[in-house]
Amino acid sequence: MNLIDLQLDNRPHRVPTGTTLDALVAQLGHEPRDVGTAVNGRFVPRGGRAACTLQAGDAVLLFQPIVGG
């Protein structure tokens, strides 16, 4: 299996080549509705994750709700 290296929330992360963003969210154990996603600083809406195939060097950020002022 070929692997590629990503940055996931600024930490190194390795996934199989061809992994999509929705697959990554599922692999990490998140409910799709519970997280927001961005790749290389750009928001990727929930409906666009399946079409977003991750590339080597991509910076993926996952966000979740939290308290705030």
Residue ranges binding another protein (CB under 8 A):
8-9, 11, 28, 30, 34-38, 41-43, 45-46, 61-69
* Cβ distance to another protein smaller for residue 2 or 33: 33
In sequence order, what are the residues at sequence separation of 6 or more whose Cβ sits closer than 8 angstroms to the Cβ of residue 30? 62, 64
Q: How distant, in Å, are the alpha carbons of 21, 63, 68, 69 from that of 53?
A: 6, 19, 32, 35
In angstroms, give the least distance from the CB of 5 to another protein.
16
In angstroms, give the least distance from the CB of 38 to another protein.
6
